[in-house]
Amino acid sequence: MRQVLKVQISENKEYLIDISDSAFVRLNQEIFEYTKGQKRLVVMSKKVYKLYSSELNFSDDEIYILPDGEKEKNYKNYLKIINRAFEMGLTRKDVIIAVGGGVIGDIAGFAASTYMRGIDFIQIPTTLLSAVDSSVGGKTAIDLPAGKNIVGTFYQPKKVFININFFETLDKKQYMSGLGEVLKYAFIEDSCKYNIPLFLFEFLTLSCEKILQREPLTLIRLIEYCLNLKIAVVSQDEKEGGLRKVLNFGHTFGHALETITKYKKYTHGEAVAYGMFFIIEWAYKHEYINYSYYKLSLDLLDKYSFKPLDKKYPVEKIVEIMKKDKKATSDRIIFVVPNGKKTVTEVKLTTLDVEFALKN
């Protein structure tokens, strides 16, 4: 089974996303065809290298291995990748390929966007999380000790190969992390300005068991739905001037949680799920949504075993982190708030509003 989606950012900026369950032999052929005549630098996570290097047809001297973890998305590793590209003699005609999760895709993408002012870049996400989010849309970045994704570019890949066979080796925590981000799309569907209704909320409700079992055809369909929404958003607003902010639903609080726990306690999707609980609760209390949708929303999260956060963190610290968010203004913190069934709106809250919400 194969689905091909097209991302059209502008008249001459477009690329294809290939979603399939084809055997790795086939994936190898496709990558080979696609990169014919190019030198390739393949940035791969250590875990992915151990699990898949024998399945994938890259030679060891074109692979650059990075250890796993958010802390590796730093300028030292970025420089190492760039230096390696230079040592290998990569020119503007060549390509950097990311094989891994979001960390690998972000740092390799940033390297590709800056090496010789930009060379081709291919994303091969190996986690559900990166398949439904970071591998598409062109955000690349590295972190600074002071914050996540502080240095980065908008740089679209030339091609995205999503092969769901990679997901077989994800542990439950990693898979659920992807589902946290997947659920986000259900709450924002009608704000994405996609031209046909996908009924993702209903699909997630009805197909929960198959999704949890990682049933291949259901998974391909699920990724296709999520990416159709993401493509609709980024093709209308590549650089997050407005519409793209809807993709940050659940992220303001989620990001603060990840930061305060130094990216060690919660996976990204888990933190986003806590963020969704927080803002759904706030929206209901402030009459942005009615009781029936509030209940429906909590039920959907519960169906996937996500629960509201049962631990308190120092409110002032959480607010401090939120104020440093790239999207925050000098005196307001921006939240994407549900304001109706499957729709969201941006709300700018004062520090006091947020402190009050966190304490109550």
How far is it, in rounded angstroms, from Cα 97 to Cα 54? 17
DSSP state, residue 120: E
Q: How far is the CB of 261 from ligand GLY (least distance, A)?
A: 20
Q: How far is the CB of 83 from ligand GLY (least distance, A)?
A: 28
Active site residue 286: no
Active site residue 181: yes
How far is it, in rounded angstroms, from Cα 258 to Cα 278? 14
Active site residue 327: no
Active site residue 255: yes
Selecting among 240, 281, 320, 346, the annotated active-site residue is: 240
Minimal CB distance to ligand GLY: which residue? 247
How far is it, in rounded angstroms, from Cα 257 to Cα 276? 12
> Is 133 or 143 the residue whose CB approaches ligand GLY more closely?
133
Q: How far is the CB of 315 from ligand GLY (least distance, A)?
A: 26
- Asked if 198 and 229 touch (Cβ cutoff 8 Å), the reply is yes
Q: How far is the CB of 239 from ligand GLY (least distance, A)?
A: 10
User: For residue 47, how far is the Cα from the chain centroid?
Assistant: 19
How far is it, in rounded angstroms, from Cα 46 to Cα 313? 33
Active site residue 240: yes
Active site residue 244: yes
> Is 56 or 269 the residue whose CB approaches ligand GLY more closely?
269
Selecting among 148, 159, 251, 342, the annotated active-site residue is: 251
Q: How far is the CB of 230 from ligand GLY (least distance, A)?
A: 7
> Is 73 or 244 the residue whose CB approaches ligand GLY more closely?
244
> Is 194 or 284 the residue whose CB approaches ligand GLY more closely?
194
How far is it, in rounded angstroms, from Cα 344 to Cα 288? 9
> Is 17 or 247 the residue whose CB approaches ligand GLY more closely?
247
Neighbours of 65 (CB within 10 A): 17
> Is 121 or 293 the residue whose CB approaches ligand GLY more closely?
121
Q: How far is the CB of 251 from ligand GLY (least distance, A)?
A: 7
User: For residue 253, how far is the Cα from the chain centroid?
Assistant: 16
Burial readout 344-358 (b: 16 or more C-beta within 10 A, e: otherwise): beebebebebbeebb
CA distances from residue 112 to 94, 266, 343 in whole angstroms, order as listed: 10, 29, 35
Q: Answer positive or negative: Cα dihedral of 156, 157, 158, 161.
A: negative
Selecting among 244, 245, 327, 342, the annotated active-site residue is: 244
Selecting among 40, 73, 139, 148, the annotated active-site residue is: 139
> Is 43 or 247 the residue whose CB approaches ligand GLY more closely?
247
Q: Which residues bind ligand GLY (CB under 6 A)?
A: 133, 137, 139, 244, 247
HSE of 139, CA atoms in CB hemisphere, 13 A: 21
Active site residue 265: no
Q: Could you tell me where the beta strands, DSSP code E, fall in 80-179? A: 95-100, 120-125, 139-144, 147-154, 159-163
Provide DSSP, 27-88: HHHHHHHHTTT--EEEEEEHHHHHHHTTTS---GGGEEEE-SSGGG-SHHHHHHHHHHHHHT
Selecting among 40, 47, 73, 255, the annotated active-site residue is: 255
Q: How far is the CB of 134 from ligand GLY (least distance, A)?
A: 6
Active site residue 239: no
Active site residues: 117, 139, 181, 230, 240, 244, 248, 251, 255, 268
